[in-house]
Structure 1
Amino acid sequence: MQQHLSGDTEQRSGKRQSIGKRKLSDQGESSQPSQRTLSELLVNNSNHHDHRTSWQNSSSSNKRSRFSHSPSPSHSSSTASQPVPPSKMYNFSGSPPKNKAAFGRSVPGSEAASSVKPKPFKAGVRQVQNQSTQYSPVVGSKKLVVKNLRSGARSTHEPYFEKVWSKLDAALTAVFEGREPETSLEELYKGSENACRQGQAPALAKKLQDRCKEHVAGKLRPNLVTRAGGGTDVDTLRAVIEAWTAWNTRLITVRWIFYYLDQSFLMHTKEYPNLRELGLNQFRSHIFSNQTLKPKILQGACDLIAADRGARTGIMADSPLLRNSIELFHSLDVYASDFEPVFSAQSQIFLTSWAQEQASGPLASYAENSHRLIEREVERCGLYSLNRSTKQKLSEILDQTLVSEQEAVLLSEKDILGLMRAENKTALKQLYGLLERQYRGVQLKNAFSSYIVEEGSGIVFDEGEDVEMVPRLLQFKRQLDDIWRDAFDRNEKLGHTLREAFGHFMNLGKKTESTGGTDNPKTGEMIAKYVDRLLKGGWRIPPSQSSKLEQLADEDAEIDRQLEQVLDLFRFVHGKAVFEAFYKNDLARRLLMGRSASDVAEKNMLDRLQKECGTNFTHNLESMFKDIDVARDEMAAYSSLLRERDRKYRPPVDLHVSVLGASAWPTYPDVPVRIPSNLAASIHDFEKFYHNKHTGRKLSWKHQLAHCQLRAWFPKGYRELVVSSFQAIVLLLFNDIPPTRACAIRRSRRQRDSRTLQSLACAKYRVLTKDPKGKEVAPTDEFSWNAGFTDQKMRIKINQIQLKETKEENKITHERVEADRRYETQAAVVRIMKSRKVIKHSELIAEVIEATRSRGTLQPTEIKTEIGKLIEKDYMERAEGNQYKYVA
């Protein structure tokens, strides 16, 4: 019997696997089922020996032609046809056979086991020939040993390798020349694989490496060097990229052919690179590293970047070529070592030249163009796959050339002030962004502070626009807040600069006629008067805000919002005494004349002032509100008394009186007035009522604060005139003159009378006529009743012209504030000296400033002046060591 065990497991991929030694171990005797089964199988198959033998002989040639890939040793036909008896095939002893048979059986006492030679096998075929005979199982451990056949002699491999390489070499020539190989890729692959399996992988790798070097160094490089001599750097770069692309394409085919060599040998050895590295190394070593080509390749890439930047190089921008160039540097692994240093040096030169050229222009243009340049550089890094390290180095170069080297240009105070005056927030934002690249944005504080003080001082000391001071300051504050928020990115230090500079000019003082020769800040007075206009309802919506504010239906809410804006300015005022004095005067007029637009708004403003300045600041203001409530109760009691009287005992004029405490209210001078008899009778009746109710009190009448309602007859109809007390006294004088006579009255030389006559004869409502006509009143002017006066309104309010009176009152108020500040300073010094007894000059100055801070910041020179006055008054004296001593 002949039995075949095929060891050729050739797969479709062309790979083979060899079968190693296989062992079948049997332990025990007849109890082992595997041993009995094998014995029975050999016995049962003995009857088919002739049939198996003939099948083997007839098919052995076909097997050899189908599976043979290498020459096999020659053998005689007689040997190949001789059957091997079973005793020569299997070995069940505990040790392997001593002969060279594929399968052998060694039985103790048998001499045939050592004399029979094994039949040689064809390549890739393992067969076992067996001649069935009867045998007796032996007792003990049994082992089945399977061994590989020995390959043919090594001398027979060399001719085969040379034959395979000749085909591979011809195929490489065709591939490198761009042609299709004559031999199929499958056959080339099998030849490469067989050579590797025969142990020729190192030789095959060496020949392949030399062949690639011969093509790259012998053909590609000379051609590229020749082309580089007659073209630009960009042309050289383009030719190298074309050669690189073609070389990569051909390497793909080479890798297909030598794939088995690459995977089984090159990937596991350090002596030779794999096929991918082989192609890169050859191109990098012989083409890119060439002394002629390398500078041109790198410069060509830099020229393309310069063209993309818009530099005047005479080279057209070529994005695809530039992108392929960067990919080439990445693929050859020369990006960081060769390209990046050259690119950084070229960028340094370009950006330095660009910054110097742009810095000669306007600052706004420089900031804008710099931002565009930075954006393009960053975009280029991402678009062309530049390394992160390149982007970092480029960013450092940009910071150095655009910011550090141009710091004087960026921080030019003149140019920055120009941008701020023009409210160019876009340019300021770009300027700040450039400086912040090196954390220098805070260096704008000097220019920012100068602009705030300069512009703010111009608003404060513009005497022709005093009335518009607060609206202009509010607009200026909004502008600064917008710059700080939008342009300076809410920088904390610049925000502190804004507040510090704004507070500085808000508290600047200047000795003028309107301030009574004092240096009191003007802002406190104007803020108080602006609040007075708001609370009287005299505020007008600016045209720029009318469309927005028309949507607000709640007037109280709108007034409240505007008061909150005014308080933003009020917080910058250090000396609150000026504001307090003027606010107190205006509040008194609003309360006495009933001119407040909203009681709710008045109380809200009072609450805000209490939160800002404390209860001491608002104590007198709260007392004024309480006095008004008490006066209303008094007037209600008086009116009740009048209603109980008989009509004939009632006073001829309806009188409304507000009795106020002198301590909380402003001080008003007593003005002597000749009161008409009917009005004097009403006043006398109220005094009698009040003295009967409150004994020991004295009433001081302030006629300049009073106002009257008169019913006037004109030939064209009756009208109700709302006038001041002085205007009413003047008009009542004309009642003693018959209307049919031409009447006249000469103006007195008193200034107050002049203003009164001017308001009645030269203003909008002219109930009197002046001869001669004109807007000014002279001592010789004559006034008469205007019989032709008419107006569409039934009730007419004639305002008192109080321009000169206001200046006089302002001067008096400023002088009083100045005096109060001196007294408060002296009182603070005395309190401190009384508690400390002895104190140094510097310590006393510091404690006085801290004690009077709520009323405004005092200057050391002012405190020193008051100290000298106290020394003259013997409250204190000088001591040794620059000290002061309290005198009890």
Structure 2
Amino acid sequence: MYLDRTYALPRHERPLYDLGLHLFAEHVMLAHQYQLRNRALAAVDRALASARDLESVPSSEIKSQLAGTAALFRALHLDAPVLSPHVVREARQTLARAAATELAVQMSDPAAYLDWIDAVLDREKVLAESMALAGAADVDAAVRNVVIAQHADVLLAGVPAWLLDGDATALARVMDRLASVNLLAPLVDQVGAWIAEQGCAIVEREAAKARGAAVPAIAGRQAAWHNPTGTVPMIEALLVFKQHVDDLVVAAFRSHADVQNAVKTALHKAMNVVKNKPAECMAKYVDEQLRSRRTVDEARLEQTLDQVLHLFRHVDAKDTFEAFYKQLLAKRLLLGRVTSMDAEKSMVARLRAERGVQSTEALDKMFADVELSDQLAKAFKDSRFAAQMPGGYDLSVIVCQSSAWPTLTTTVSALHGKAKGNGHDDDKSAPKPIGRLPEFMTRGIDLFSQFYATQYSGRQLAWQHDMDQVTLKTSFGKELDVALVQALVLLEFADMNAPPLSFTELHARTGIEPAELKRTLQSLACGKVRVLKKSPPPARESGGEIADTDTFTPVAKLDQVKKYRFRIPQIIPREVQQQDDEHTHEQVAEDRSLALQAAIVRVMKARKVLPYQSLLNEVISQCKFPVEASKFKLQIEDLTEREFLERDKDQHNVYRYVA
């Protein structure tokens, strides 16, 4: 305008339009005790109340009314100082009452309240866009504080059920709402607590079942991990549970770093709530996956091994896993129960990457022994000793270094596969005899021993016959894969026309211990597949108990079995497996004691003088297993008595290394 250019601008005065707005605001809008301003604000309140009373999106009429009023305040420069603060106060008061009413009506139902929050936020967003307030961010913050932050406990109360049901959509919505008011930490804590609770329940429940303790039924809704059906239920349940959690971490929490850390902490707590048992079960689960079966999906097997390894990372008692894994691997190799040698070596490679080369050194030697034994078998067949073997008899031997292989129990085991003998070289100990071997077997063993002496001078073989397996050809056109102890019994019935043999006669002929012989006869005459006929017949109520007066005869045919070659499993008493497991745990405890003592001496030799707590901290950092304070104290006392250490005369809690 002309006056603006010639008068206002040169004198740095307000332009006429701005001056008019200023005068209108001062003498009209803000005059007479703010009557017009208050009436305008009341109109805004009525429009907002009308919009909030509607369940649907605000109408165009309401939006137009709000937009016009807000434009007036904005033109008069009264938006930031007057209108926005007023809308913030009004939103706090109105929505606080609305939230309380909603919670009362819905009985504080988290799902219903979450839906109400989303509806409120959508409506308030439309209102804010209509008004285009300068303080729109303050209004949004006030709304979220009232409906979300002040009632976060209602939303958090629904998290356990959503986690159990795998409701990723609801969890994602809750995460977004709580994150918008800086309350993500309580949600993360709740998620971690739920995972720890569920994981600990799985481990404790299955550990109690393994001990034979009574376990109460699970109350309320159940998930897939509550009812595992496999032979190693603890690990199966944990794998299902972890997959459930992993899916939610991605789908619901978008792999948020805080949630991932909470999951790791919770799983670590769960995997160590019961000492050593999860590690033991993990090794047995891997054994089940790697044992021979008809078909195997290599990709699925590799995926399963990766999943187990993820659990393995959370276990403190990794040495317990390694001890059981080594023992079970030895049995798979000796009994021909390997599904895939590539899969076996792949698992060992995983362990090597996790724990270092030293942890798998013995396992690598075991593989090397098996490969070398295959070469020895070929060389034996081409040697002059093989020509002297009894007719109809073939011998295959696995020669094991006693320093690399675990000490396997000399009790009954589920043995089957190719006919094999197992020898430990460099082992002068006399093996426990399993029974009286037939002459043709002893002849074959002598011939192989002579052959081995020509290959390795200065070495002796100690035969472990309780791990032997035999394949027998029968007169009814079948081949039987049996353990040596079963074969010794069946060979007594080679003559189909011979009279029945009693238990006492079989004991005298085979030299098998009575308890072992009874279990063997139960497997042959009372099992699902019966190759011997017991007289009197086994009674169902007695479970096929064998009496000293029972007699046995061979069956003439076996039509119910369609396979040409099949295995007859042995009966393994539970106490045998328990003793085997206890022996492994005892060996782990002994190894830990030696390693703990060595670590103490190593640290003190380097540091010379250390307070008790500092010594404990350094030893813990060096040991690859959980160090218990009580065990550490015992080792300190033992080393003090043996004069490796001594207490400082002036400071009782300080120890000195004695050179």
| TM-score, normalized by the shorter chain, greater than 0.5 | yes
Aligned counterparts of 1:456 and 1:597: Cα–Cα separation in 2 = 31
8 Å contact 1:533–1:539 — kept in the other structure? no
CA RMSD of aligned residues (A): 3.3
Q: Deviations over 1:648-675 (max 9, x none)?
A: x646521111111100001134332221
Correspondence 1:795 to 2:553 = no
When structure 1 is superposed on structure 2, of 482-491 and 843-852 the one drifting more is 482-491
For 1:397, the equivalent position in structure 2 comes to 142
Aligned counterparts of 1:731 and 1:675: Cα–Cα separation in 2 = 12
Matched residue type, 2:52: R
- Say which SS state the counterpart of residue 490 (structure 1) adopts: coil
The structure-2 alpha-carbon separation of the partners of 1:643 and 1:681, relative to structure 1 and needing over 3 Å to count, comes to closer
Counterpart mapping for 1:872-883 below 5 A: 872-880=641-649, 881=651, 882-883=653-654
Q: Deviations over 1:241-288 (max 9, x none)?
A: xxxxxxxxxxxxxxxxxxxxxx55688666999689879977996699
Matched residue type, 2:543: E
Aligned counterparts of 1:687 and 1:744: Cα–Cα separation in 2 = 35
Matched residue type, 1:727: Q
Correspondence 1:760 to 2:519 = no
The structure-2 alpha-carbon separation of the partners of 1:287 and 1:316, relative to structure 1 and needing over 3 Å to count, comes to farther
Residue 358 of structure 1, CA deviation: 4.0
Correspondence 1:813 to 2:584 = yes
Aligned counterparts of 1:272 and 1:535: Cα–Cα separation in 2 = 88
Correspondence 1:365 to 2:105 = no
For 2:416, the equivalent position in structure 1 comes to none
Correspondence 1:634 to 2:405 = no
8 Å contact 2:63–2:127 — kept in the other structure? no
Matched residue type, 1:525: E
Aligned counterparts of 1:537 and 1:303: Cα–Cα separation in 2 = 77
For 2:128, the equivalent position in structure 1 comes to 381
Matched residue type, 1:860: A
Aligned counterparts of 1:750 and 1:285: Cα–Cα separation in 2 = 116
1:342 to 86, 94, 112: 86
For 2:258, the equivalent position in structure 1 comes to 493
Correspondence 1:428 to 2:171 = yes
The structure-2 alpha-carbon separation of the partners of 1:265 and 1:878, relative to structure 1 and needing over 3 Å to count, comes to closer
The structure-2 alpha-carbon separation of the partners of 1:618 and 1:325, relative to structure 1 and needing over 3 Å to count, comes to closer
8 Å contact 1:761–1:769 — kept in the other structure? yes
Correspondence 1:849 to 2:586 = no
The structure-2 alpha-carbon separation of the partners of 1:750 and 1:422, relative to structure 1 and needing over 3 Å to count, comes to farther
- Say which SS state the counterpart of residue 472 (structure 2) adopts: strand
- Say which SS state the counterpart of residue 482 (structure 2) adopts: strand
Residue 319 of structure 1, CA deviation: 2.7
Counterpart mapping for 1:828-847 below 5 A: 828-847=599-618
1:655 to 390, 395, 403: 395
Aligned counterparts of 1:322 and 1:598: Cα–Cα separation in 2 = 71
Residue 579 of structure 1, CA deviation: 1.1
Residue 580 of structure 1, CA deviation: 1.1
- Say which SS state the counterpart of residue 611 (structure 1) adopts: helix
1:671 to 427, 432, 449: 432
TM-score with structure 2 length normalisation? Answer: 0.81
The structure-2 alpha-carbon separation of the partners of 1:841 and 1:293, relative to structure 1 and needing over 3 Å to count, comes to closer
Q: Deviations over 1:221-253 (max 9, x none)?
A: xxxxxxxxxxxxxxxxxxxxxxxxxxxxxxxxx
The structure-2 alpha-carbon separation of the partners of 1:593 and 1:390, relative to structure 1 and needing over 3 Å to count, comes to same
Residue 866 of structure 1, CA deviation: 2.0
Matched residue type, 1:676: P
Unaligned 5+ segments in structure 1 are 1-262, 510-519, 542-554
2:469 to 703, 707, 724: 707
Matched residue type, 1:835: A
The structure-2 alpha-carbon separation of the partners of 1:267 and 1:299, relative to structure 1 and needing over 3 Å to count, comes to farther
- Say which SS state the counterpart of residue 405 (structure 1) adopts: helix
Q: Deviations over 1:805-844 (max 9, x none)?
A: 3332112111211121112112222222333333221121
Higher RCO (C-alpha under 8 Å, 6+ residues apart) = 2
Q: Deviations over 1:497-546 (max 9, x none)?
A: 2212211221233xxxxxxxxxx4112222222222222255999xxxxx
Residue 338 of structure 1, CA deviation: 4.6
The structure-2 alpha-carbon separation of the partners of 1:839 and 1:282, relative to structure 1 and needing over 3 Å to count, comes to closer
1:859 to 625, 628, 632: 628
Aligned counterparts of 1:272 and 1:298: Cα–Cα separation in 2 = 27
Q: Deviations over 1:687-733 (max 9, x none)?
A: 232234434322211112111110112xxx31111111111112112
Unaligned 5+ segments in structure 2 are 210-227, 411-430, 508-512
- Say which SS state the counterpart of residue 493 (structure 2) adopts: helix
When structure 1 is superposed on structure 2, of 335-344 and 267-276 the one drifting more is 267-276
Q: Deviations over 1:111-165 (max 9, x none)?
A: xxxxxxxxxxxxxxxxxxxxxxxxxxxxxxxxxxxxxxxxxxxxxxxxxxxxxxx
The structure-2 alpha-carbon separation of the partners of 1:659 and 1:277, relative to structure 1 and needing over 3 Å to count, comes to same
8 Å contact 1:266–1:273 — kept in the other structure? yes
Aligned counterparts of 2:4 and 2:452: Cα–Cα separation in 1 = 123
The structure-2 alpha-carbon separation of the partners of 1:410 and 1:325, relative to structure 1 and needing over 3 Å to count, comes to closer
Matched residue type, 1:733: E
For 1:726, the equivalent position in structure 2 comes to 485
Query: Which is greater in Rg?
Result: 1
Aligned counterparts of 2:440 and 2:351: Cα–Cα separation in 1 = 43
Correspondence 1:559 to 2:301 = yes
The structure-2 alpha-carbon separation of the partners of 1:329 and 1:626, relative to structure 1 and needing over 3 Å to count, comes to closer
Aligned counterparts of 2:347 and 2:304: Cα–Cα separation in 1 = 11
For 2:240, the equivalent position in structure 1 comes to 475
The structure-2 alpha-carbon separation of the partners of 1:559 and 1:376, relative to structure 1 and needing over 3 Å to count, comes to same
Aligned counterparts of 2:90 and 2:481: Cα–Cα separation in 1 = 86
Aligned counterparts of 1:294 and 1:391: Cα–Cα separation in 2 = 20
Correspondence 1:602 to 2:344 = yes
Aligned counterparts of 1:276 and 1:838: Cα–Cα separation in 2 = 84
For 1:745, the equivalent position in structure 2 comes to 503
1:458 to 180, 201, 212: 201
Matched residue type, 1:478: Q
Aligned counterparts of 2:52 and 2:439: Cα–Cα separation in 1 = 96
For 1:680, the equivalent position in structure 2 comes to 442
Correspondence 1:570 to 2:312 = yes
Aligned counterparts of 1:734 and 1:803: Cα–Cα separation in 2 = 26
Identity of matched residues, %: 29
Counterpart mapping for 1:1-400 below 5 A: 295-310=38-53, 318-331=59-72, 333-334=75-76, 336=79, 338-359=82-103, 361-382=108-129, 384-387=130-133, 389-400=134-145
Correspondence 1:772 to 2:538 = yes
Aligned counterparts of 2:543 and 2:267: Cα–Cα separation in 1 = 42
8 Å contact 1:635–1:657 — kept in the other structure? yes
Aligned counterparts of 1:630 and 1:559: Cα–Cα separation in 2 = 27
For 2:594, the equivalent position in structure 1 comes to 823
For 1:208, the equivalent position in structure 2 comes to none
- Say which SS state the counterpart of residue 660 (structure 1) adopts: strand
For 1:419, the equivalent position in structure 2 comes to 162
